[in-house]
A and B are shown apart, each in its own frame.
Chain A
Amino acid sequence: NAGVTQTPKFQVLKTGQSMTLQCAQDMNHNSMYWYRQDPGMGLRLIYYSASEGTTDKGEVPNGYNVSRLNKREFSLRLESAAPSQTSVYFCASSEGGQGRAQHFGDGTRLSIL
């Protein structure tokens, strides 16, 4: 059972380049999330999707866009990467609200030079 799968696992970009981080879950969860985690810090929510067809901004959405492609897939796009976006990006999913556990992927380690 794969759970939440993120690709790629590592990526190095140059300032101004664009890229899309991919996330897919096989648990039939309704809700999906994108977080970033900077060294020694907690996770900050970038965007989330409560259900297929809906997306909403989180705490730090600037510089990012998302697409909920279908129930399984939720992608995060950096249109013009900046060094401040160097971070570890985690995708997560959950069955829905009411405090249900969020299941995380292994993360994408992104460096922007």
Chain B
Amino acid sequence: GQSLEQPSEVTAVEGAIVQINCTYQTSGFYGLSWYQQHDGGAPTFLSYNALDGLEETGRFSSFLSRSDSYGYLLLQELQMKDSASYFCAARGNAGNMLTFGGGTRLMVKP
């Protein structure tokens, strides 16, 4: 089985940097994805890490350490529109089955 842990809620100020952590326990592990979901909306894909290290996509970066079973999503230059829930998801087999964490609700304040 698989389980992923992430903080339930994070608050930050507009323009700041925030890091959302995710630790995982899996019987098999191929990579870690991140998804964003606004209230009442559908999840949208942000990033995927298969190898250790940092992946950067604009204001968002994602990091993975396989030896520590740990990853994080880094959001820079926070904007009000970044207020949403963020989910880490582990890919546990050679297919694309994902196990999702419980989500971190990010509130960006002016």
Contact = CB atoms under 8 A, between A and B. Distances in A.
Interface residues of B, number: 24
B71 interface: no
Given A43-B43, A90-B43, A104-B42, A99 B91 contact: yes
A97 B95 contact: yes
B96 A94 contact: yes
Nearest to A42: B100
Given A41-B102, A42-B101, A99-B48, A106 B41 contact: yes
Given A42-B103, A90-B43, A99 B97 contact: no
Given A41-B102, A41-B103, A42-B87, A102 B97 contact: no
A50 B95 CA distance: 7
A90 to B, nearest CB: 6
Interface string B19-32: 00000000000110
Interface residues of A, number: 26
Contacts of A107: 42
B64 to A, nearest CB: 11
Contacts of A98: 50, 96
Interface of A: 31, 40-45, 48, 50, 58-59, 90, 92, 94, 96-107
Q: Which 8 A-B pairs have the closest CB atoms?
A: A101-B45, A42-B100, A104-B42, A99-B48, A99-B31, A43-B100, A97-B96, A42-B102
